[in-house]
Every structure is written in C-alpha cells, then in structure tokens.
A and B are shown apart, each in its own frame.
Chain A
Amino acid sequence: MTKVRSDYVRPVDFKHGRVDMTHGGGGRAMAQLIEELFARAFSNEWLAQGNDNALFTVPAGRMVMATDSHVVSPLEFPGGDIGCLAVHGTINDVAMAGARPLYLAAGFILEEGFPLATLKRIVESMAAASREAGVPVVTGDTKVVEQGKGDGLFITTTGIGVVPPGVEISGDRARAGDCILLSGTIGDHGVAIMSLRENLTFETTIRSDTAALHRLVATMVEAVPSIRCLRDPTRGGLGTTLNEFARQSGVGMLIHESKIPVRAEVNAACEFLGLDPLYVANEGKLIAICPPEDADRLLAAMRAHPLGAKAAIIGKVVADAHGFVQMETSFGGRRVVDWLTGEQLPRIC
C-alpha cells in the first residue's frame, strides 16, 4: 500500500472543476487557485512575494496610466481570447501616449460554475501575451459572483508606462494639413467575433488581429518624434476614432476609401451582414496623425515593422469648424463618416 505524503495537498482540478463561491472567499481555496493558476502562469518576482500589491521604483519622467474592462463574448475566438485581448488592449492604450509600457495589473470577476479548464486556457494565453510583450502582470485580484450575475468571466486590466522626453502625443493636437496614417487592414477583429455569434454563423478564415503595438509605436516615435496623435480604433472602428480626433482637435478630415486596406473576406462578411467596415472593431491596428513633411518617413518606419506591413496614408486633416470627417468614395462621390450610432447591428434591408 502506497503511503500518502504528509504534505499532500489535493491540486485544483483544472480538467473537470468549476469555479465556486469559495474561490472568491479569501480563504484557502482562493489562495490555492491563485498559486496554482495565476501565480504559476504569470510567474514573476512580484507575484512570488505573495503580497496584495507590487512594489517597484519609478523611472524619472512622465508616466501614463490606462485601464480597460473586457467583457467580450464569445470568450475565445479565432486569433485570440479575452485574456490576450486584455493584455494587448491595455498595453496599446499606454503605448498610444508614445509611452513604453512597464507593468500591468489584472482583476478577474469569475462567475460561479465557470469551467476551470477554460479559465486555465485563458489565463495561460494571457500570460503568454504578457511574456511575449515583455510587460509583466505584477498584481491582481479575483472575485466570484453568483451564477447568472456574470458572463462567465470579466477581466479588468490597468497598465502604466513612461513617456520619453520630447514626445507630446494627444488627441487634441491634430492641425489642418497633417497626414492621417493607418497601420493595416480594418475590420478583422469584429468580423472574427461576429462569425461566432449565435444565428450569424458563417465560415471564414478571418482571425482577430489582436496584438501588442508598443514596439511598433517605439519605432514610429523614434523615426518621427513629431507625431501628433495616436489611437487604436477599437470599439466603433476607424470611423469613430477619426471623429474623436476631429472633435478633440476642432478640425475636420478628408479620407479616401480606395486607400483604406480591407481584407476581401472582411468586405464580404460585412456585405452579408449589412455592416460598414469603417465601424467594425480592431484590436491590433493604430491611427497616427503627423505633420505632412514627416508622413513618408513615418510610413516607411511603419511598413518596416511586421505589425505595420500594410500601413497606408489614408487622408489628411482639414480646417472645418463643424468637425466633419468626409470620405471620397471609391465610386467617386463624397460622403460623411459620422459617429457610430448605438451598436452596429446586422440588417436585412
């Protein structure tokens, strides 16, 4: 008869187990989940210490902080999942100030009954994304809500970064004459998600473009320190982000449909559903606005980076008291690209 080790602790059952209220209770079960899953996956000196906080020295200079809550459904989709989406999303928000991201914090709200196998997959994906980006998750929190009160899993991430001297990037700095650049194809993420939504199933090889953009931003800022604005067009898409810039800066814009890169499949999926790719979410693209004399140099820097291979100059900023974003259609007419109204819904008419 084999003897049971005196220090034996039954490990968390990641194959068949489910989240229950004890995992958020603050007691032993929660500590075990944190140790066996989160700390093991994220694996760094701060989490190893086991405190409710992370201690680090701050580099000199200006700091940026950003936070995001992630409620995407479905949780897993072609090209990614809510975990890596959370890491990329916050790294990107920090990077959009021209900053080098330093650390992330992550809060998890788990719904009672959520399969631990799925949680493990997502947390490990998140950890891989964090490692690949070189931005550790140094502190976090876990709570559990009763069944029916959550959508399986919600994640909130907060990130901080440091802005190099001489870099002034903000949405209100666009000026008439500036050029507008886009780092790649639009609509990939939104279509990848929609392809899984109940009742909208269609088969496509489109994958979410979720990616951390901080290294692309670093090469861009180095090549062109005079960049005026940077933003990643997530919910609401390219159309909404351009309108945000226009309003913040008190300018108008003129873009050209023929210059905007869109994958054929994304176009087709949008046709099917009656959606406009201009308003479909992206998670691995950015818009940059820079002085006209620097546009070609900026474009070259973007194209030299894998995440900017399809970058293009799509238009320019114009003086316009009404702040309209206008677009020259491929067809030859002109139309306004307005703010997105509510949520984009597929249509039959």
Chain B
Amino acid sequence: MSAVLFFLAALGVIAGALGVVLLRDAFYSVLALVFHLVCLAVLFLLLRSEFVAAVQVVVYAGAVMVLYVFVVAYVGGEPDRFDLGRLSDRSAGQSARMRIGATVLGAALLVELMIALLGTGLEGVRHQGAPYSPGPETFGTPAYVGKLLLTRFLLVFEVASFLLLIAAVGAVVLARRRRGLEQDLQEPQAQLHRATPRDAGSMAEGVGGGPATQQAAGVLSAAVASQPTGSSLP
C-alpha cells in the first residue's frame, strides 16, 4: 500500500518539477510548483513527519506560493519564446549553448549522485527506518518538533525568527516608492545602458578595450612619433 502511494507521490513530485522547468508560461510554472509541493507533502507523510508535511502545505504551498502568484500576476513577463525574435544574436546563440550545456551538466550531476547513492549498495542507509510507536510525543508529531525547537534547537529557532524579521524589513525597503517617481518614466531602455556611460572608467576601458581608449591611443602614438631623438654627445 505504502509503495503504491510512494510511487504515485514520487511521480507527482517529478512531474511537478518537470513542469516548473519546461512550461513556458511563468504562471503555469507556479502552478506546477504548487502541485509539486503538495506531492512532496505526501512524501513527507509517508516518512512519518506529519508536522513538517503540514507546515509544507500551509506555509510553503499556502503562503509562499500565493505570494508568487501575486507577483507573477503583477509582473508577468512574457512567455519564453524559443524563436527569439527580439533578442540579439549573441544571446540567442548563447542561450542555445547554455541549454545544451546545462542539460549535459545536469545529467552529469544526476549520474554522479546516483552512483553515490546506489553504487555503494546503500550500505549506509538502513532499509526500513525507525519503528512506529505511536504516542503523544512520538517521532514526527508537533509536540515532538516543538519540544526539540524549544530545547535543543533554541538558538536556531531564535535566529530563524530574526532572519524572518530582516526579510520583512528588507521587503518593505525594496518595495517602497521613492520620491520623484516622474523621472522613472524616462526611457527605460536607455536607462539600463546609460548606467555605465562612456569614459566613466568601465573595466573594459581600463584594459584598453572601450571606444574611448582607441581615440586616446591615436593621440598618444602621434605624440610619441613627434618626440625628438635626443642631441648628439658633446
């Protein structure tokens, strides 16, 4: 019974992951991730971690993904096109190469991990796991986790809550409007490229590659040529 459930949940997990990676529309990717998270929660249940499974569904799939949905709705972004009409040739070629390269790399990593897992015959991994002994504070119950959090992992708990505070403050800072919004209505494209104007000392210019230095090099070579070769010895 549990094996069937495992396979179903595992299939769901992998299907959701594939959906996130392969689906073109960002919104569909978000939905795929939600599906993935729910199936993952089922896997957690199979591993007797009820509390974590519940937290996964409530917090991760419930809150974080809802945030994602909001943002995707607001920001959107156009669906990823593979015909690459608007983009420059350079990044197009680069994307193709990147896609192939990344897939190869991923495959390599997967193979490696599989070898690590299965190649050793899984000697370090016991087969069945801990036995099931029900009770108020058994493995996986909220009481169990709560007790651990407040005794052994108190510092972790406090730091994690501190991190949440920082994230909240950061989000507020990032999201606030600045004064003079009107100047943000200027050319959006040019603004991105105007961020590093010429002769402002970009690194390319610093090593003699930018257009400004070519001009200067012309002047310098002219100056060297016109230098006198020194007087003869007395």
The answer to whether A binds B is no
